[in-house]
Chains A and B, each alone.
Chain A
Amino acid sequence: MSKHKSSPPDNSHGFSRRSFLKGAGVAATGTAVLNSGLLGQASETHSNVIGPDATSIALNINGSVKHVPVEPRTTLAEALRHELHLTGTKIVCDRGSCSACTVMLDGMPVNSCTTFALDAVDRKITTIEGLGDPEHLHPLQAAFVEHDGMQCGYCTPGMVMSCAALLERNPNPAAADVQQAISGNICRCGTYPKVVEAVLATARSRKGA
């Protein structure tokens, strides 16, 4: 079981040496460690294993560094929601098939429910909260409000993130580009037409500006 907040937040490498991987867990979590380039960091602290208990890592979220206790199995979505209470990011299917949990990693939209928190170390994470807040909406968010690109709103943060990432890589999308960009974002309320309107309007007003 995790013992949260047991690691000092000033741990320079973001790791506790207290915990060791045991048994069959090694192979699976080892992959995550390798992929994230953490192994090297961990060995500097004379420990080449982390987990299964919680370890504090540093995540660069919305421009500031947050120390978060995570287990090797903790997904980025879980870390954001349960540990940091950044609940704008939703978990809906928890297996990569709905995009409600979309965040940006170094500007690329990813499903945070199928990304290990460990894999997000050393990367720039942008969540919906980092795009704009209610008093200072991102122009895309403002267009979502104006065009009613939401109903219940539960898919909306993921939808906004997918569209924001699209506008980053293509400031001048056609309707079909928007449909492609949100083709993985499931909306049960049926907001797709108004989402497309909102994105096209944002692109138009940026061009005009």
Chain B
Amino acid sequence: MIGGWLKRLSGAEDGLGAAITGGRMRVLSGWARGAEDTAMPSRQVGPMPWVIAIMVAMSVVAAASGLAMRNIAQAARTDLAGGVTVQILEGRPELRARQAAAAAELLRQQPGVSNVHQVPQAEVDQLLAPWLGGDVADGVPVPALIDATLDGTPDAARLATLGRVLHGVAPAARIDAQSAWLGPVFGAIASAQWLAAALIVALAAALAAVVLLATRTALGNHAETITIVHMLGGTDPQVARIFQRLIGIDAALGALAGFAGGLLAIMLLGRRVADLEAGLLAGGMLGWADWLALALVPLFATVLAIVTARLSVLGALRRML
């Protein structure tokens, strides 16, 4: 019992017992509240939570865009995987129709070719109407289109072989892989994804810098208290824990606020995109795994803040005696 020696001290006649004996203080009783909760003042409200909130919101939006773009690219790839289009570039309608029918028939007989589908001329006209205006059927020659799917990737050699075969029945036939048309689009999407990733990395670095500054300020404000805690036998990890907690609470609050703001922005943006009714962008809807990944952003921000605070405090303390 710690206070035992004192109690007996108080109880004796002149306040001092002659037979004072007391057990040594036991320090093994475990953590009750620890110095952490009591040595430092309550947390200071500075600009840090707001800065973290803004950074987390931006990261969430950037991450969501990156994920959406990945989904778009993936949806497009699955749609187009193995897809080839045969165009019959023939001006005379009867000849065009005959060659198209023959080409479709021939394609159906080829091994590894499936889903052969001749796009009806009316559909092709309708597709092109916005571009060519008015009555396409009269006057302007429009190619006949046949869609088909190859097993595996439609590489150049395979396309060339198929092309040669088709030329036998339809000299006006031209075959293309569907994905080739979208090559530049995929390139652009990939660049945008890299940009989003770089943005997130930059934001994380900025967040660490903000936490570093906030920690230094807090250390400066409490230098005297830290010295006292050290003099009373406090360890560096004990002191670090105090600041970790202070910074961690601020960071968590900021991160949650930023997460909420980021989600709001994504939902508004998503509604605008949905209004566009653009077929390709529809593939950009976020799945549950994507939302889960987004939820990791504030968590990661908080952990990053705590780790940064801990390392910077331990670094600063090492310079004290």
Q: Tell me, yes or no, whether A binds B.
A: no
- B residues contacting A by CB (< 8 A) are none
